[in-house]
Chain A
Amino acid sequence: MNRRGFTNKISLAAMATVLGSDIVFAHRMPKDYLPLGLQDPDPFKMFSKDKGMVVLNDKPWNMEAKAHLLNDDITPNKFMFIRNNGRTPEQIDTSKWTLTLDGESVKNAKTYSLAELKSKFQHHTYQLTLECGGNGRSEFNPPAKGNQWTVGAVSCAEWTGVRLRDVLDDAGINSDAVYIGYHGADTHLSGDPKKEPISRGVPISKAMQDETLLAFAMNGEDIPLAHGHPLRLVCGGWPASTSGKWVNRISVRNKVHDGEKMGGTSYRVPCETVAPGSKVEDSDMCIIESMPVKSLITYPKSGALIKQSQTLNINGHAWAGELEVSKMEYSIDFGSTWHSCSLKKPANRLAWQHFNATVSFPKKGYYEVWGRATDAKGKAQPMVLPGWNPKGYLNNACHRIAVKIV
């Protein structure tokens, strides 16, 4: 057997493993044909994403924006990051889609059709900031395991749906309810039908907020498939993993939800701060709730060469989880001096806020423009990496862009 033939067989065996079945008549398969299940579709076309987006992972799909792509006040789909944990559900029939409310603490377990949800409950629209808990993971030292997000796993789109509270009130919840957990139609990467790729949730207090939606529209259109079509739980200001996609069941729990990725190191950080690289016991980890204060300079794109006579207009967004951002500043001397930016109020609670400033530079040379947001409680973004944690969550270090005055 020659090497080429041998490796051919390996590739076939590998294909068969992935497909979960033997390829019958494999030798009759045209030489350059890839079975349909293995064809690599163009993710930019498939998800209508801008070519400037960066694919971190294609199984499951994970894609992030770059800072300068996020310049819009309301993030359009083409610049919205994708963080999927399992396989995207296929063949969704919206006319047959249902949402079931169950769990230990629901008074009347109930199932609603999508049409019923839309007709029975009042619609609300909010701009909601969704940031992946692991946004910025790539900077941690020692490195943390997982998708190596840089700065682009954040978005603020306009979501329309019904309040989760209204639906919970309709079914009725008992006084011992402490948490809700979502379940979705995505399937586990291993193909095991008994496993859920992710099933997280939020405490009842977050579930009952005005802005916590069971959304069916994003930016005025049906939610795109990659972002949870036809129904998504949206919990603005919290790790985006609490905003369950393709939701078909909400469990009202009498304890902290124990679904997939609620335990271990998933979306949890050490309850007490630890030295970088420390081993932390599961029992010493606490669930991430509100995301911390953060900002992005979305204009100009890093790398601008400008003339000494020119001033530079910068703009971007700032957000602070459950809180409002009260102050936005910039520095061109690595934090020695800070200058204020003009900062707008949020469109609604949990929406990111827009800032801008006009920057002038004293002389020729290499500069970095650093941005720093401060939340309503006086907490500002750190210039260096914040507390290390095993999975590299919550990196809210200041964003910066490079500028050269020539």
Chain B
Amino acid sequence: MGNEFQKQVRALSKTLLSFLILVLFLFGGLYYWANYTPQPDIVEIPLEETTDDYDKVENGVHVATGFIDDTGMQATIQNCTACHSAKLVTQNRMSREGWKAAIEWMQETQNLWDLGANEELILTYLSKNYAPTDKGRRQNLENIEWYELK
């Protein structure tokens, strides 16, 4: 009788084991399939340079956003362009105090999150690269495109 029982246990374990192996193969296969990146047969032709490279920097300016490339730019992009355009940042000029006030205003009224340790990084980046210059009470006309008027 003891023998009989042992036989049954062994048979059961074998079935369970084969199931386990089957399941392992199945999931392993699925996992492999899901993560499989096909190797293209055709040679990749790079697109026009400006359109596809998000990280491209030209003449010190991040092409995709227009931000000046400097320490803190990545944190600024990640925290400041989720709601509004980078253009709203880059067209403005403020002191560190002014940028801080703008961040606080956005936190109080516009659902901006706590920037944590990034705040220091972002403030330093903005006040260094987007600082005001003294424009006086009226500036000269600039960038005049001269043309002949008949």
Contact = CB atoms under 8 A, between A and B. Distances in A.
A16 to B, nearest CB: 10
7 contacts: A60-B84, A140-B135, A141-B134, A147-B88, A303-B144, A385-B137, A402-B141
A100 to B, nearest CB: 25
Q: Which secondary structure dominates chain A's binding surface?
A: loop
Contact of A7 (B55, B84, B149): B55
B41 interface: no
Contact of A304 (B52, B87, B138, B149): B149
A190 B110 contact: yes
B138 A383 contact: yes
Interface string A113-154: 000000000000000000000000001111101111000000
Interface in B124-150: 132, 134-139, 141, 144-149
B138 A385 contact: yes
A48 interface: no
Interface in A1-35: 7, 10-11, 13-14, 17-18, 27, 31-32
Interface stretch (A51-59, A170-178, A322-330, A346-354): A51-59
B60 interface: no
A255 interface: no
Contact of A145 (B74, B92, B138): B92
Contacts of B105: 264
B135 A14 contact: no
Contact of B137 (A141, A189, A300, A303): A141
A32 B85 contact: no
Interface stretch (B9-17, B22-30, B75-83, B114-122): B75-83
Interface residues of A, number: 50
B74 A397 contact: no
Given A147-B91, A302-B141, A304-B149, A32 B135 contact: no
Nearest to A25: B34
A271 interface: no
B37 interface: yes
B41 to A, nearest CB: 16
Given A57-B88, A59-B84, A143 B146 contact: no
A32 B47 contact: yes
Interface residues of B, number: 43
Contacts of B110: 189-190
Contacts of B138: 139, 383-385, 397
Contacts of A384: 137-138
Contacts, number: 106
Q: Which secondary structure dominates chain B's binding surface?
A: loop
A27 B38 CA distance: 11
Q: Of residues B37, B136, B149, which shows the largest number of chain A Cβ atoms within 10 Å of its Cβ? A: B149
B111 interface: yes
Interface of A: 7, 10-11, 13-14, 17-18, 27, 31-32, 55-60, 139-143, 145-148, 188-192, 195, 264, 300-306, 310, 312, 368, 383-385, 397, 400-402, 404
Contacts of B55: 7, 11
A190 B95 CA distance: 25
A225 to B, nearest CB: 19
Contacts of A300: 149
Q: Of residues A141, A306, A384, which shows the largest number of chain B Cβ atoms within 10 Å of its Cβ? A: A141
Given A55-B87, A147-B88, A402-B144, 7 more contacts: A56-B91, A141-B135, A141-B137, A148-B91, A190-B110, A303-B147, A384-B137
A145 B94 contact: yes
A215 to B, nearest CB: 28
A18 B149 contact: no
B87 A58 contact: yes
A139 B148 contact: no
B5 interface: no
A54 to B, nearest CB: 11
B147 A10 contact: no
Nearest to B35: A27
Contacts of B83: 59, 189-191
A264 B105 CA distance: 10
Contacts of A303: 144-147
Given A300-B149, A303-B145, A139 B94 contact: no
Contact of B78 (A14, A56, A147): A14
